[in-house]
Amino acid sequence: MVYNLEIDTHTRQEMVDITRQVEEIVEKSGVKSGVCILYVPHTTAAITVNENYDPTVKEDILTTLRRLVPENYPYRHTEGNADAHIKAAIVGSSRVLFIENGRLVFGTWQGIFFMEFDGPRRRRVYVKIIADAAG
C-alpha cells in the first residue's frame, strides 16, 4: 500500500518540513522495524533530508541552488520552468529512511523536506512503508 501525502506550497521555491506528517504515517502503519520510502511524482519538485533546526540552512540551500541554476537563462525548454526541472534533477525524487522501534531513525538535527521549485501548487509525496521480513 502507498500512502499519499498532500502538500500545499505557497511560493515559487521553498522547502517544506514534512517530518511530522511522515512520522504520523509511520505510526499509523504500525510497522516497528523496516524502511520508509518517499517518492515525489513531480518533475519540478524534489525531496531531501537535512537540518531542520536552524532555518538559515534552508535559505542557504535555496540561495545556492538559485545561484547555480538561475531562473533566467536561454534554456531550450520554453515552458518558463527549466530551472525548476534542473533543480529537481539535482536534488532527486526519492529518499529511503529506516524505521526502528516504530519511529524514523534520524541524526540529531535531521528532518525531511519537500522541495518546491515551481510553486505555488498542490503537491504530493508517495510514502511506502515496508516491514522487515519475519525472522
Which is closer to Zn ion, CB of 124 or CB of 128?
124
* Chain residue at closest Cβ approach to Zn ion: 79
In the chain, count H helices and then E strands.
Answer: 3, 8
Cis, bond preceding 120 (omega within 30 deg of 0)? yes
Q: Which of 81, 83, 95, 104 binds Zn ion (CB under 5 A)?
A: 81
Stretch that binds Zn ion, among 8-16, 80-88, 92-100, 106-114 (CB under 5 A): 80-88
Nearest of 129, 90, 132, 131 to residue 5 by alpha carbon = 129
Task: Pick the stretch among 13-21, 62-70, 75-83, 127-135 that binds Zn ion (CB under 5 A).
Answer: 75-83
- Using alpha carbons, list the distances in angstroms from residue 119 to 2, 45, 72, 80, 106: 24, 9, 16, 12, 28
What is the closest distance, in whole angstroms, from the C-beta atom of residue 64 to Zn ion in the complex?
A: 22
Q: Least distance in Å: CB of 84 to Zn ion?
A: 7
The smaller minimum CB distance to Zn ion, of residues 54 and 79, is found at 79
Residue found by looking up cell 522495524 in the block: 33
Position 18: which residue type?
A: I
79 binds Zn ion (CB under 5 A): yes
Residue 23 or 83: the one with the smaller Cβ distance to Zn ion is 83
d(CA 2, CA 4): 6
Residues lying near Zn ion in the complex (CB under 5 A): 79, 81
